[in-house]
């Protein structure tokens, strides 16, 4: 089943298309998306189709920052009711945690993660099985929206410690500098934003615990059927835990409030297994990152959750028939799912 996103994710698509000289309806048609989604923010459309649309539009316009241009004009309210809930939380940290818990109601294809250590907070985003090709536009749109959201929480003068992208720098970085400041990092190990942990302690000026409770209960009640499936929940946890080296069935089961045996039974009902989901997500990451020659294979191995490069190489050869270095030498990432 494809992962879906509210068509509100295409807010400002029509405007950016017009300013860059391309036909918005024609681009939507090529991506297989109904043009009416531009006028109804609550329509659900495949997240993979949105990624394809943004990449096609950027290529047609001859620019590398189409997604970032869309993010320039975004407001928190574009996220709908989950934004209203976040605004009513007591602190910026609580608002972020609220968005992390409810983001699937807006976009099933993104996992938002908050990690804090040694006084540094990292808000990073993982994109789940959306598309095999480039995702630059979707990534920059999403990170740009997160940045603007934090600006709404922390004030217009707030500056992040850094804004990170896993893809390489565009030829023209002026828009990135204009939007984020000078602290932009490309070829990073993550897509996300870093800041000081104490900044997240700031109280939300509109905080209202009772309003937050009512909105939360409404979302839980009205969107119960839209909750992620067992498989989707496990996929999200695998994405979150893989690079930590703690991505085991036992750990994932504890996060879900059950034991390993119950987890396996739930996945069996959906015709899959924990190890299959781990393999599929590893393959997704490989398809996105192997072609990046500036990323050492040892670092890629860590991102995939392997304890050693040799373990990664054995897994890769068993799946694709050749070593990762041999595939990299060809200048392309493997697309096949064979060799299991």
Mean pLDDT, residues 38-59 taken together:
93
Direct distance between the N- and C-terminal alpha carbons of the chain, in angstroms, rounded to an integer: 22
Domain ranges of the chain: 4-201, 230-329
Q: Look up residue 331 and give its two tokens.
A: 């200048």
pLDDT, tens digit, 9 for 90 and up, residues 75-86 = 888 888 888 889
Mean pLDDT over the full length of the chain: 88
Asked if 245 contacts 304 with a C-beta cutoff of 8 angstroms, the reply is no
Higher pLDDT, 195 or 242: 195
* DSSP code, position 190: S
Please give the pLDDT value at position 132: 57
Please give the pLDDT value at position 200: 97
Indicate the pTM of the whole model: 0.76
Please give the pLDDT value at position 227: 58
Mean pLDDT, residues 150-163 taken together:
94
pLDDT, tens digit, 9 for 90 and up, residues 251-300 = 888 777 788 999 999 999 999 999 999 999 999 888 888 888 888 899 89
CA distance 177 to 167: 16
pLDDT, tens digit, 9 for 90 and up, residues 25-36 = 999 999 999 999
- Strand 162-164: give its sheet, edge to edge: 110-117, 120-127, 192-196, 162-164, 184-185
CATH architecture designation of domain 230-329 = Orthogonal Bundle (1.10)
Intrachain domains 4-201 and 230-329 with the same fold: no
| CATH number, span 4-201 | 3.90.1520
Mean pLDDT, residues 320-337 taken together:
78
Asked if 74 contacts 144 with a C-beta cutoff of 8 angstroms, the reply is yes
Residue 27 backbone phi and psi in degrees, to 5:
-65, -40
Q: Look up residue 179 and give its two tokens.
A: 């939007």
């Amino acid at each position: 089943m494809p992962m879906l996103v509210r068509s509100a994710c295409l807010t400002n698509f029509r405007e950016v298309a017009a300013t860059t000289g391309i036909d918005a309806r024609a681009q939507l048609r090529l991506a297989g998306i109904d043009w009416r989604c531009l006028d109804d923010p609550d329509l659900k459309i495949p997240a993979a189709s949105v990624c394809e649309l943004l990449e096609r539009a950027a290529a047609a316009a001859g620019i590398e920052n189409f997604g970032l241009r869309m993010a320039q004009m975004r407001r928190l309210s574009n996220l709908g009711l989950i934004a209203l809930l976040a605004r009513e939380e007591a602190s910026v940290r609580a608002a972020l945690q609220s968005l992390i818990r409810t983001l699937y109601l807006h976009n099933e294809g993104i996992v938002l993660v908050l990690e804090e250590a040694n006084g540094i907070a990292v808000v990073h985003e993982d994109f789940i099985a959306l598309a095999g090709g480039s995702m630059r536009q979707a990534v920059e749109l999403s990170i740009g929206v997160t940045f603007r959201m934090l600006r709404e929480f922390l004030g217009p003068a707030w500056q992040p410690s850094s804004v990170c992208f896993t893809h390489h720098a565009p030829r023209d970085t002026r828009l990135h500098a204009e939007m984020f400041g000078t602290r932009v990092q490309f070829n990073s190990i993550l897509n996300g934003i870093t800041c000081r942990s104490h900044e997240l302690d700031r109280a939300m000026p509109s905080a209202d615990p009772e309003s937050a409770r009512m909105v939360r209960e409404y979302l839980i009640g009205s969107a119960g059927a839209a909750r992620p499936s067992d498989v989707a929940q496990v996929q999200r946890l695998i994405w979150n835990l893989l690079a930590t080296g703690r991505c085991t069935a036992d750990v994932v089961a504890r996060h879900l409030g059950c034991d390993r045996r119950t987890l396996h039974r739930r996945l069996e009902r959906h015709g899959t297994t924990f190890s299959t989901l781990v393999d599929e997500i590893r393959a997704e990451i490989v398809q996105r990152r192997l072609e990046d020659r500036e990323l050492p294979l040892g670092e890629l191995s860590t991102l995939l959750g392997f304890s050693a490069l040799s373990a990664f190489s054995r897994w890769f050869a068993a799946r694709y028939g050749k070593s990762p270095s041999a595939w990299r030498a060809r200048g392309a990432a493997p697309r096949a799912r064979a060799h299991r």
